[in-house]
Amino acid sequence: MKMRRLRRFLSFSCSKGSLVKKTKVFIALAISASLCTCESLSVGSLMKEPVLSLNSMELTGVTFTGVDGMCTINVENPNHIDIPFPHIEWDLSIASVRLITGAIDTGMSIKARRSTIIEVPFHVDYADLYNTIASVKDASKNGAQETGFKLGVTAAFTLPVLGEKKLPFEAEGTIPLLRMVKFSDMALSIAAIDFTGVTLTCSLTVENPNAFELPVPDMEWDYAINANSFIRGRVENAAPLAAHSDSAVVLVINIQYTELYKSFHTLLAAGEADGALALTFGLTAIPAFAGDVLSLDLANTIPLLKPPSIRFTGITVKNVNIFEGLLAGNSKIDLAIGFEVENKNAFAMTLDSLAYTLTVNGSEWIDGAAPDKTVIGANRKVTIPLNVTITTLSLAREIGALVASRTTNVPYVCEGGVTIASDFPGMKPVIVPFNSTGVTRF
């Protein structure tokens, strides 16, 4: 009986020792596993890399100097703790050429399990773009309306456990190209002409193909006669060119014949002259095209009008029995006077009217006009005879006395004006004054 109890006690003691040993081993393994699990959770699960995604890409402003844009990037912090805001470096490339760069630092943090927006503003200067990448400028001149770009962003994070992390991001977009103004419908015509000179007008259309307003190009012009510069000018105070619009530009060129003949004596006997208008357009007000100069040329012919020559041909007393009439108290005297008008031009003219005053020997004899229109052919002369009757007794006696005395070299002055009209383009009726002096006999 005693022996059986002893065996049970010894068996229990051995089992209890084995249990303690097994418990110690289990606790050690559990601690080891716990440490491994915490480390694994800290690196793999509890700290994760931020996630970058495109929020928006838009242009905020476009002018003839450049383009402003804004790229916004969403940054998500998936971690249970705040992380520092990254150091941002970015660059914008066009046609594989890095054009501009920038950096962003805020000193802020991104809240745990929250997102924030990174704003990357950029400005593309057209002058820099065209001076750096000639192919883009050439494309704009050939009609290209836009070009693509790439925005590369590198976000450098300093994260717990993970350390330094640089996350790249790239976005693409397009910007409109600054396009050259266009000129069309250029025409040179005669606006007005008379015997003193000619006024020319040059009209043309200036097209702005851009989606924004442009300043007016510097426009200078040079009008040459017979291949020699004669008169110059420039367009002043023109209005800006509205977006997507055509603007009419009109140049006025006044040519005075007296000044023309001073410079070109050989034209005094000519009927026309060869003219040529050269227009030069400078784009200094548009930085991207500051070195570009456009030119247009247009030739024409200007007529050199010659005023008609007007000559008083003389006085004839028609009623020879003047003394009998005066003795009988009849003061009526019939006179014949005449004018010769010469047209020195290569086209016909119409003498619409002729008004004159005739003064003889210091006394005004006649103040009259020609009753009919007269057509004067090209390079022709016409004689205009006029019959005049004088009824003033005192004047009749004065004339009678001159006739009776057979006085020679009687002075006269005939002055007035003729109104000349023509179908010549740009010519309006014009009054040509005349003053003819001399001596006559009866």
Query: What are 312-341's pLDDT values in tens digits?
Result: 998 887 765 555 555 555 567 788 999 999
The residue out of 246, 277, 303 marking a domain boundary is 303
Q: Are residues 192 and 279 in the same domain?
A: yes
Helix (H, G, I), strand (E, B) or coil at 39: helix
Residue 38: in which H helix or E strand, if any?
Answer: helix 2-40
CB atoms inside a 10 Å sphere around CB 426: 16
Task: With H, G, I as helix, E, B as strand and everything else as coil, classify residue 260.
Answer: helix
Q: Which residues contact 199 (CB under 8 A, 6 or more apart)?
A: 190, 191, 192, 193, 252, 253, 254, 255, 426
Evaluate whether residue 41 is within a structural domain.
Answer: no
Boundary-marking domain end, from 274, 303, 332: 303
Task: Indicate whether 10 pLDDT > 50.
Answer: no
- Interatomic CA distance for residues 141 and 209, integer angstroms: 11
* CB-CB contact of 78 with 111 (8 Å): no
What's the CA dihedral at 365, 371, 375, 376 to 10 degrees?
A: 0
Q: What is the pLDDT of residues 105-122, one digit of tens each?
A: 988 899 999 999 999 999
DSSP 441: -
pLDDT at 316: 84
Give me the domain span that covers residue 128: 51-176
| Residue ranges with strand state E in 194-332 | 197-208, 218-225, 228-234, 245-256, 272-282, 293-303, 309-317
Give yes or no: residues 266 and 356 share one domain: no
pLDDT at 162 over 60: yes
Structure tokens at 273: 């002259």
Tell me how far apart the alpha carbons of residues 122 and 152 are, in angstroms, rounded to a whole number: 12
Residue 19 lies in a domain: no
For residues 388 and 273, state if they share a domain: no
Q: Is the pLDDT of residue 350 over 90?
A: yes
The reply to whether 193 falls in a domain is yes
**pLDDT score, position 372:** 85
Q: pLDDT tens digit string along 230-263?
A: 999 988 767 889 999 999 989 999 999 999 999 9
**Residue 386 confidence class, pLDDT cut points 50, 70, 90:** very high
What confidence score (pLDDT) does residue 61 get? 94
The model's confidence at residue 440, banded by pLDDT at 50, 70 and 90, is: confident
- Measured in degrees and rounded to the nearest 5, phi and psi for residue 15 equal -65, -40
Confidence of residue 78 (pLDDT cuts 50, 70, 90): very high
Neighbours of 288 (CB within 10 A): 22
SS3 184: strand
42, 86, 163, 164 from 160: Cα distances, Å: 10, 13, 6, 9
What are the b/e assignments for 220-230, b being 16+ CB within 10 Å? ebebbbeeeeb
Which two tokens mark 34?
Answer: 């716990």
Q: How many CA atoms lie within 13 A of 386 on its CB side?
A: 27
Residues 279 and 387 in one domain: no
The verdict on residue 84 lying in a domain is yes
Low-confidence winner among 51-55, 72-76, 361-365, 377-381 (lowest mean pLDDT): 361-365
Sorting pLDDT into bands at 50, 70 and 90, what band is 198? very high
Considering the domain architecture, whether residues 233 and 282 belong to the same structural domain is answered as yes
Residues 218 and 315 in one domain: no
> Please, are residues 72 and 90 in contact by the beta-carbon 8 Å criterion?
no
Query: Six-digit token pair at 332?
Result: 């009526």
Q: Where are the alpha helices (DSSP H) in 189-338?
A: 257-263, 322-327
Residues 158 and 80 in one domain: yes
Average pLDDT, whole number, for the chain?
85
The tally of CA atoms less than 13 A away on the side-chain side of residue 303 is 19
> Would residue 90 count as lying in a domain?
yes
Beta bridge partners, 246, equal: 207
Distance CA 71, CA 110 (A): 19
Is 159 a domain residue? yes
Provide the pLDDT for residue 99. 95
Query: Would you give the end-to-end CA distance of the chain in angstroms?
Result: 199
Q: What is the pLDDT of residue 330?
A: 58
> How many CB atoms within 10 Å of residue 181?
19
In the block, tokens 């003498």 appear at 351
Q: Does the pLDDT at position 9 exceed 50?
A: no
Task: Find the mean pLDDT for residues 205-232.
Answer: 92
31 pLDDT band, cuts 50/70/90, is very low
Lowest-pLDDT range of 260-274, 307-321, 343-357: 307-321
Q: Does residue 1 surpass a pLDDT of 90?
A: no
438 confidence band (pLDDT: 50, 70, 90) = confident
Are residues 255 and 321 both part of a single domain?
Answer: no
Q: How many CA atoms lie within 13 A of 221 on its CB side?
A: 26
Q: Is there a single domain that holds both residue 100 and residue 149? A: yes
Please check whether residue 415 lies inside any domain of the structure: yes
- SS3 assignment, position 357: strand
Asked if 267 and 357 sit in the same domain, the reply is no
Residue 346 predicted with pLDDT over 60: yes
Question: Same structural domain for residues 207 and 158?
Answer: no
- Whether 18 is covered by a domain: the verdict is no
More confident residue, 320 or 219: 219
Note the pLDDT of residue 339: 93
pLDDT band of 17, cuts 50, 70, 90: very low
Question: How many domains, the chain?
Answer: 3
SS3 (DSSP) at 200: strand
Weakest mean pLDDT among 25-39, 255-269, 367-381 = 25-39
CATH of the domain at 187: 2.60.40.10
- Average pLDDT for 23-38: 43
Instruction: Examine the fold and report which residue of 272, 303, 334 is the final residue of a domain before the chain moves on.
Output: 303
Looking at the structure, tell me whether residues 329 and 436 fall in a common domain. yes
**Which CATH number belongs to the domain containing residue 405 in this structure?**
2.60.40.1820
How confident is the model at residue 33, as a pLDDT?
A: 43
Mean pLDDT of 340-354: 93
Look at 36-50, 56-70, 195-209 and tell me which has the smallest mean pLDDT: 36-50
